[in-house]
Amino acid sequence: MIFWIATGIFIVSFGLIITERLDKTKVALAGGGLMMALNIVTQHEAFYDRKYAIDYNVIFLLFGMMVIVNILSKTGVFQFLAIKSAKLARGRPVWILVLFTGITTVFSSFLNNVTTVLILIPVSLLIADELKIDPFPFLLSEIMASSLGGTATLIGGPPNILIASKVQLTFMDFIYHLTPAVLFVFSFFLLTIKLLFGKKFRVKEEVRQKILAINEYEMIKSYSLLIRSLGVLGLVIPGFIFSSRIHLEPATIAILGAAILLIISKENLQNVLRELEWSTLFYFIGLFIVVAGVVKVGLISMLSDYMISFTKPDAENMFVTSMIILWFSAIASTVMENTILIASVIPLVTDMAQTLLPSGLDLKLIIQHSTLMPVWWSLALGTCLGGNATPIGASANIVTLGLAEKAGYPISFKKYLIYGIPLTIEMIILSTVYIWLRYYVLKFYL
């Protein structure tokens, strides 16, 4: 009975979240609350248990990075870099497009994807307005580049933070395995974007001069805040890189960095706190409890058994499993919120690994087993990049299209799909090639 109640809560929550009938945070908190109220997961388990508890590493890493990025974004440094790159391109639209796609990828590798597009989209609209060109190529490539960047590092976005925490991976694991994948996909993506849109832009020399006339230094609102923020970032990023050597979890580093920046920046605490995405943090809290409920009642083990009998994975070679996870997560992400997908798939793969790999191994050794690692990287690539295909596949897409419409450049669902689907398929094929070549042909695990 308890199995069916937990499964029911999970399915209803899942359905409401992916259909967006109700705000996802409300649904996750209600689902989590019900799991506890019905004693499927006790409050003690939800708060303190090693196996079922809310993953505070994820919550505090997100919180710490939100604070750091919030303060850093008040300096105007991101706008400065965007304008600087437009000037470096000498106002030539195609090169601005290439550089903006590049800086979106870089920004997004340490900012969340929505924050990245909130910075880049207005600058792109300004550039397009000044040059009197269609902003669509910019908006499309920035949406896609934001998800690419978000895939590159541990702190790029919630999917990677979730994987890192559950699989106990370090910042450098992501740099060694996913950053090359992103660079590989990015280079082909850039080429495609240039081929698709390169010839569309025709801008006269005197119009280009308008871009060169912008004084990018006026974007910087406070040099002292910028120095302090970059100083803290200069401690936090190496902190992430060397986290395993200094034996500190990423959340500890982010919290410490946020606290130091709050103190030395002298920013008003209430103002900073007011601007944080609390709904995201509470969404994760609820989501963790909902998923813990179905793990505890055995639904995930059951699904994992089905998956084993369906894919027949081999403990020595999980190529088929990697491919199924990559393509399944990519297709599912086109229409659904990717974090609920990832939060459900992680325990499923973990359970499958426990069944397949030699018993008696420590959980960490099982989930970090070399044959399983390509599966995790496939999951990250699939969930992060799949969302590019449709206008509703990821929050960054929804935000960008909303801004474009408000600014007077509406992009229809159909127009987005015409470009979004083929470009996403290209990215997933390239990810397939990367996974296959690196882990199953070259066997380069590192």
Which of 58, 81, 121, 300 binds other proteins (CB under 8 A)? It is 121
Q: In the chain, what's the furthest Cα-to-Cα distance?
A: 74
Q: Least Å distance between CB 76 and other proteins? A: 5
Quick one: which of 87, 59, 108, 37 has its CA closest to 394?
Answer: 108
Which of 31, 32, 76, 93 binds other proteins (CB under 8 A)? It is 76
Q: Does residue 332 belong to the site contacting other proteins (CB under 8 A)?
A: no
Of 35 and 123, nearer to other proteins (C-beta) is 123
Secondary structure string (H, E, C) spanning the chain = CHHHHHHHHHHHHHHHHHHCCCCHHHHHHHHHHHHHHCCCCCHHHHHHCCCCCCCHHHHHHHHHHHHHHHHHHCCCHHHHHHHHHHHHCCCCHHHHHHHHHHHHHHHHCCCCHHHHHHHHHHHHHHHHHHHCCCCHHHHHHHHHHHHHHHHHCCCCCHHHHHHHHHHCCCHHHHHHHHHHHHHHHHHHHHHHHHHHHCCCCCCCHHHHHHHHCCCHHHHCCCHHHHHHHHHHHHHHHHHHHCCCCCCCCHHHHHHHHHHHHHHHHCCCHHHHHHCCCHHHHHHHHHHHHHHHHHHHCCHHHHHHHHHHHHHCCECCECHHHHHHHHHHHHHHHCCCCHHHHHHHHHHHHHHHHHHHCCCCCCHHHHHCCCCCHHHHHHHHHHHHHHCCCCCCCCHHHHHHHHHHHHCCCCCCHHHHHHHHHHHHHHHHHHHHHHHHHHHHHCCCCC
Of 121 and 435, nearer to other proteins (C-beta) is 121
Q: Least Å distance between CB 399 and other proteins? A: 10
Q: Which amino acid, 200?
A: K
Q: Least Å distance between CB 270 and other proteins? A: 20
Q: Which two tokens stand for residue 241?
A: 């890189």
Number of other residues whose CB lies within 10 A of the CB of residue 85: 18
Residues 6 or more apart from 64 whose CB is under 8 A from it?
251, 253, 254, 255, 256, 257, 258
Q: Does residue 79 belong to the site contacting other proteins (CB under 8 A)?
A: yes
Among 61-69, 113-121, 270-278, 351-359, the segment contacting other proteins (CB under 8 A): 113-121
Q: Least Å distance between CB 214 and other proteins? A: 5
Which of 66, 114, 126, 167 binds other proteins (CB under 8 A)? It is 126
The 190-229 contact track toward other proteins, x by CB under 8 A, reads --------------------x--xxxx-xx-x--------
Quick one: which of 99, 148, 198 has its CA closest to 430?
Answer: 148
Of 83 and 287, nearer to other proteins (C-beta) is 83
Among 126-134, 153-161, 352-360, 386-394, the segment contacting other proteins (CB under 8 A): 126-134
Of 206 and 316, nearer to other proteins (C-beta) is 206
Which of 58, 62, 67, 83 binds other proteins (CB under 8 A)? It is 83
Cα 68 from Cα 410, distance rounded (Å): 33
Q: Least Å distance between CB 215 and other proteins? A: 7
Of 134 and 216, nearer to other proteins (C-beta) is 216
Question: Could you tell me how many residues of this chain bind other proteins (CB under 8 A)?
Answer: 24
Of 358 and 408, nearer to other proteins (C-beta) is 408
Q: Does residue 125 belong to the site contacting other proteins (CB under 8 A)?
A: yes
Of 183 and 213, nearer to other proteins (C-beta) is 213
Please give the residues from 356 up to 415 whose contact with other proteins meets the rule CB under 8 A.
Answer: 403, 406-408
Which of 123, 162, 178, 384 binds other proteins (CB under 8 A)? It is 123
Q: Does residue 232 belong to the site contacting other proteins (CB under 8 A)?
A: no
Q: Least Å distance between CB 157 and other proteins? A: 21
Of 79 and 395, nearer to other proteins (C-beta) is 79
Q: Least Å distance between CB 124 and other proteins? A: 9
Q: Does residue 277 belong to the site contacting other proteins (CB under 8 A)?
A: no
Among 27-35, 56-64, 124-132, 328-336, the segment contacting other proteins (CB under 8 A): 124-132
Among 75-83, 344-352, 376-384, 437-445, the segment contacting other proteins (CB under 8 A): 75-83
Q: Which amino acid, 183?
A: L
Which of 33, 102, 122, 180 binds other proteins (CB under 8 A)? It is 122
Q: State the residues that interact with other proteins by CB under 8 A.
A: 76, 79, 83, 118-119, 121-123, 125-126, 129-130, 210, 213-216, 218-219, 221, 403, 406-408
